[in-house]
Structure 1
Amino acid sequence: MMIKEVTVFVTVFFFCITSFCQLPKSDSSHITICSFNVYLLGGVSPKYKEINQQHKDPNYRRSDTSFTIPDRISNCADLLSRGNFDLMVLQEVVDGIRGDSAVQDLCNELIRNSGKDLCWFTSDRIGKGMRMESMAFIYDKAKINLIAHKGRNSSLWSTQEPKNRKFVKTTWQSGDFDFTLFSCHFAWNEKDCKRRQADYVLLSDILNNPDKFSSDPDIIVVGDFNRFGGRYCKKENNEYGIQQLNFDSSKFRVPHVECFDPSISNLKEVAENSGIMHPQQYSTTVSANTMVYDMMWITTDVLEEYNWERNKWNIDFGVLVFDEADGNAYLPGAEDLSSKEIKYLYSDHRPIWMKFKTNTGSSDK
């Protein structure tokens, strides 16, 4: 009996360790999509301020250090390279030449690390957070094709709140899988609940009525949704915005949340689910909490490319945990940094990802 108990314990322990230590694996019949809120990309390293200054004044002489790759860019490239992603969607990119230059450097570092034939582009200005922002997209041309519309790589969609950042819509194709992808960065402003409410209202409309937003019902929505972020408005009955989303599991799913909160709007943090081992591993932030701000939503048509019934954490979807010693993407020394130091050397968010089949035949047509 003792031998059997020890065997069971070792087996379960080994499964948990291997599950948390796994990274996304690449193969020819799948693509892996990543979403990453990179804190003020283009707004931290002095290099991009100098590039912007030279752009304004051609006579401005840049320092020698501004012609090198900033440590932060190398750090983020090392982190993202661990995921072997085919499409990377970045939020909180500083709009304009500063952000564009940072994305170009990041793409070049990713190419150097992986040898992949990567391309990048940024969206039009989406609105203001701490700075004016855009979204960035880096993708492997050998695995995935960008489908432009009317000569444009992306388009913007607005909520009913004019101060809110716009959603960015793009269209893609890989093998038999063609899909529309929206990238979002929801409002944090806790002084005006209507702002985040408006973001969730538009998200709910997209997910419940995909035909209104795309000729293809395969829709993926990624980004930073600030789920339960900030203090609620007492006058609005504990309103965090997500209560505005009409959740219908027959129409859309969100694995990064449903894995610990099947209702998607009941539990504020992963740690509130006592059945989840190592809740910090599920968090999408580097803070000392277990919040899930970043997610990937999929309409049910996408389930042709994603087996919901068999989906597993860190195999079909997951988080790159780089700041914990037992994380799957652990970067030595990261656990000794403060949250502020991590934010400026990497980001205050962790990359999230999902894996999709691309060889389903005609079922996606």
Structure 2
Amino acid sequence: MTNLLPLLADYPLQNLNTFGIAARARQFLRIGHLEQLQAIYHDSQLKKLPRLILGGGSNLVLSDQVDALVVQMCLKGRQIIDEDDYFVHVEAAAGENWHEFVLWTLSQGVGGLENLSLIPGTVGAAPIQNIGAYGLEIQEVFDSLTAFDFATGNIVRIDKAACRFAYRDSIFKQAYKDRMVILSVRFALPKQWQARLNYADVAQYLNQQQIATPTAKEISNAVIAIRQAKLPDPVQIGNAGSFFKNPIVSAAQRHSLLDAHPRLVSYLQESGDYKLAAGWLIDQCGWKGRQLGQAGVYEKQALVLVNHGGATGAEVRALAVAVQTDVQAKFGVLLEAEPVFV
């Protein structure tokens, strides 16, 4: 059992979360194969501990002391499973780096994930958050996943409907939180590929490059360039990417806000509601470039909170609350944080 579960006590997590918070785990374990999860399930002491499942650490704000068994998913592997008249089915293990997986699919001549290039994190974390960017969400190309169920000790396959995907949400952030550990994810990528150019920044970049009919790889390159220009590199300054969800409001609420704020940035949704640009709301409240302690709002993009060096989880939380308070006071809209506070 010792060889199967090489537990590390009081383990430093600073290099395992993109915010760079100097947290420590009560117990830490890297998972390289399924038998380790089964061993945890059958260990009466470990099973009782609170668990934190860690992927790339890109969607977390940690407290200084994480009183839990922190399990880092390191399962590797990716393959084309099969194809039919309409789709190529591609599968990757939970521990695969997301961006590297996207580039791999493109190298195999399979398009469909290119708009999600350069999103930090792992494949296993992608469906939990229903990651999305530049006109595409995971749920649109998702087929199914396998997971280890800590309630029963079984491996289960969960289809798209059962995931209950919503905007930056899924059942894994709700009923299955801390219960299901994702092992692998399967995607159905279209054989009749079509470029998604409905996001203005992507279309504008391609136009500047004089690319009229882009390939999937060229769209990927565009998305990478746009993200690198807008978002800070976590290696250089700690951050968790976009910190707040873009709030959804009714048409009536948008109309009322437009009366008071004619330059309001909003996007019509299929439901008839409107998505507001959270970054614009934060910027209007004067937060861009400001700091509370060592936590701050990124000077180039108000939607991103950053660690200027030595920020604690408490400082990041305090900054987030201050931003939420000001936005709600000015616009009557409550911003919801994307990262999970641990």
Normalising by structure 2, what TM-score? 0.27
Higher strand share: 2
Tell me: higher relative CO, structure 1 or 2? Use CA pairs within 8 A at least 6 residues apart.
1
Normalising by structure 1, what TM-score? 0.26
